[in-house]
């Protein structure tokens, strides 16, 4: 499988799955584009978002994204340097940065940690994940009130993903979530975050290693993630390598 195809297929599976975690998200797939309209209209890269899947012209894909998500701001994923990104910018989409898609081909080596890392097995435990994610992603502009809408179906979240939480004593301080696509047998890691006061203690490394190793134990052929600038050095030290590169663009407000 080509690197860009692997990156896109893993991301598409995540967007579909995350849509299912919401109460009433709408997924439309076809004509070379996957779109997700979320319960909340607040744009995030995985909800209120559009991902080109190939097979149609960039102009047509952009028109479809704008039509399907016309009532809300949304993110558009585009391969870095591709024509679609330029067309989106010309249409008023605002670039919000490039992110590398990285891939891990084998389980990461174990690494000792003073933190306790646990995988959630009950829906009641999801509050620890949400609390850490709210603190970790507030700096990126994600309002805490949006998180419960993204993970409204708690039982489904625990059933269809692996959520790891790192604990310092009785305090949850870091999280990571992994999904395994049973069709492609590729895994993706998302929502890696550490509470701001607990950073630089290896917590993100610990939870990422845990869910990555779990994915390989469940049969994953490879593990993919989109890395933030802060997380990229952690993942590369773990053995992740370059796979592809995405540009993310934010649409103008509706009506503009």
Distances (CA, A) of 65 to 33, 34, 70, 233, 255: 8, 8, 8, 33, 14
DSSP 3-state of 97: strand
Distant-in-sequence, close-in-space partners of 130: CB < 8 Å, separation ≥ 6: 147, 148, 151
Which of the residues in the chain have pLDDT under 70?
1-2, 256
Placement of tokens 């829906």 in the chain: 123
Domains 3-100+245-250 and 116-243 share a fold: yes
Q: Domain 3-100+245-250, CATH 1.10.10 — does that match?
A: no
Amino acid 133: pLDDT:
97
- List the structure tokens of 28: 């439309």
Residues 98-146 pLDDT 10s: 999 999 999 999 888 899 999 999 999 999 999 999 999 998 899 999 9
Distant-in-sequence, close-in-space partners of 171: CB < 8 Å, separation ≥ 6: none
Q: What share of the chain is helix, strand, coil (3-state, %, to 5)?
A: 35, 30, 30
Q: Where does 116-243 sit in CATH, by number? A: 3.40.630.30
Task: Please say whether the beta carbons of 93 and 77 come within 8 A.
Answer: no
Distances (CA, A) of 66 to 79, 92, 94, 97, 109: 18, 11, 14, 20, 44
Q: What is the Cα–Cα distance from 177 to 128, expressed in whole angstroms? A: 13
Residues 95-104 pLDDT 10s: 999 999 999 9
Task: Please say whether the beta carbons of 210 and 244 come within 8 A.
Answer: no
Nearest to 56 by CA among 46, 47, 48, 65: 65
Beta pairing partners, 50: 35, 76
- The domain limits of the chain are 3-100+245-250, 116-243
Task: Please say whether the beta carbons of 129 and 181 come within 8 A.
Answer: no
Distant-in-sequence, close-in-space partners of 78: CB < 8 Å, separation ≥ 6: 52, 84, 85, 88, 246, 247, 248, 249
Task: Please say whether the beta carbons of 206 and 115 come within 8 A.
Answer: yes
Amino acid 55: pLDDT:
76
The single-letter DSSP state of residue 32 is T
């Amino acid at each position: 499988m080509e690197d860009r195809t692997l990156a896109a297929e893993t991301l598409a599976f995540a967007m579909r799955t995350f849509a299912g975690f919401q109460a009433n998200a709408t997924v439309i797939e076809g004509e070379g584009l996957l779109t997700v309209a979320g319960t909340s209209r607040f744009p995030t890269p995985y909800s209120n978002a559009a991902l080109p899947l190939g097979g149609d012209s960039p102009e047509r894909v952009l028109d479809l994204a704008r039509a399907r998500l016309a009532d809300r701001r949304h993110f558009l994923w585009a391969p870095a340097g591709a024509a679609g990104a330029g067309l989106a910018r010309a249409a008023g989409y605002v670039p919000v940065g490039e992110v590398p898609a990285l891939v891990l081909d084998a389980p990461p080596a174990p690494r000792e940690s003073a933190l306790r890392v646990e995988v959630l097995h009950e829906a009641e435990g999801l509050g620890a994940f949400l609390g850490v994610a709210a603190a970790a992603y507030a700096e990126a502009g994600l309002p805490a009130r949006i998180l419960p809408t993204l993970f409204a179906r708690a039982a489904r979240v625990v059933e269809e993903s692996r959520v790891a939480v790192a604990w310092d004593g009785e305090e949850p301080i870091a999280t990571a979530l992994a999904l395994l696509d049973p069709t492609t047998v590729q895994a993706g890691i998302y929502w890696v975050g550490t509470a701001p006061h607990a950073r630089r203690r290896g917590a993100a490394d610990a939870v990422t290693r845990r869910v990555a190793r779990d994915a390989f134990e469940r049969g994953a052929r490879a593990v993919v993630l989109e890395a933030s600038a802060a997380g990229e050095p952690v993942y590369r030290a773990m053995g992740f390598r370059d796979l592809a590169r995405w540009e993310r663009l934010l649409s103008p407000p509706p009506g503009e």
